[in-house]
């Protein structure tokens, strides 16, 4: 109960910060995607989502052929042997959060060695760890799937229905990214 309370306070803080910034900050999706050198992809925490992402991970490389892509695994199941060396993999294992429900300093320093221009949250449900990392990244473009508790932390939301499969959700996301990374016209958020 205390853990949940602290998490809600933290999210309230980020909600206020993003509420103030979002009124002033306009982001050109096309320009950010085109110029992105560092991408952070927060993996989902459910097995089906992880398996689908592993099968389709090469699509992110197709969209961002020259970018440094870091994958964050919020689960305590190691995925090190399942991804190509073409991607940086940060595994949280147990204990990603300290007592105050903040990212522990070891994981924080590992994740934020780089300045990310784009963060993508692949979770379809509310995952506190992914939202916290997304907020702390200060990325220009924060993309995620539609969820009532997460929508205010993204500046671009991929709308999906609960009936859609992981395959369909990732196809929609990568199709959007590809279209906007190779489009001639920029869109404003």
Give the pLDDT confidence of 129-155 residue by residue, as tens digits. Answer: 888 888 778 888 989 988 877 777 788
- Average pLDDT of the residues in 60-82: 84
CATH topology of domain 2-182: Rossmann fold (3.40.50)
| pLDDT in the model for residue 184 | 47
* Sheet hosting strand 88-91, strand order edge to edge: 88-91, 68-73, 38-42, 118-121, 141-145, 156-158
- Average pLDDT of the residues in 61-75: 88
pTM: 0.78
CA–CA gap between residue 61 and residue 58 (Å, rounded) = 5
| pLDDT in the model for residue 17 | 55
| Cβ atoms of 181 and 64 closer than 8 Å | yes
Q: What is the mean pLDDT of the chain?
A: 78
Give the model confidence (pLDDT) of 78-127 as tens digits: 777 776 668 888 777 666 665 556 666 777 777 777 889 999 999 888 77
* Length of the chain counted residue by residue: 189
CA–CA gap between residue 10 and residue 12 (Å, rounded) = 5
Q: How confident is the model at residue 13 (pLDDT cuts 50, 70, 90)?
A: low
| pLDDT in the model for residue 24 | 45
Of residues 182 and 24, more confidence is placed in 182
- Average pLDDT of the residues in 162-172: 90
Could you tell me the CA-to-CA distances from 15 to 79, 80, 145, 154, 180 in Å, in that order?
31, 33, 17, 10, 27
| pLDDT in the model for residue 23 | 44
- Average pLDDT of the residues in 164-185: 82
């Amino acid at each position: 109960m205390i853990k949940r309370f602290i998490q809600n306070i933290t999210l309230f803080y980020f909600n206020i910060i993003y509420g103030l910034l979002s009124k002033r900050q306009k982001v050109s999706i096309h320009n950010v995607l085109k110029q992105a050198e560092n991408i952070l992809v927060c993996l989902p925490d459910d097995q089906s989502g992880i398996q689908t992402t592993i099968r389709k991970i090469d699509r992110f490389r197709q969209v961002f052929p020259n970018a440094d892509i870091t994958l964050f695994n919020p689960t305590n199941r190691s995925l090190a042997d399942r991804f190509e060396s073409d991607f940086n993999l940060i595994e949280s294992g147990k204990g990603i959060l300290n007592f105050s429900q903040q990212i522990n300093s070891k994981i924080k320093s590992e994740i934020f060695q780089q300045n990310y221009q784009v963060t993508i949250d692949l979770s379809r449900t509310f995952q506190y760890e992914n939202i916290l990392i997304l907020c702390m990244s200060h990325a220009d473009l924060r993309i995620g799937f539609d969820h009532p508790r997460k929508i205010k932390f993204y500046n671009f939301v991929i709308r999906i229905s609960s009936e859609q499969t992981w395959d369909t959700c990732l196809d929609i996301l990568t199709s959007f990214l590809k279209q906007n990374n190779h489009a001639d016209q920029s869109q404003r958020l």
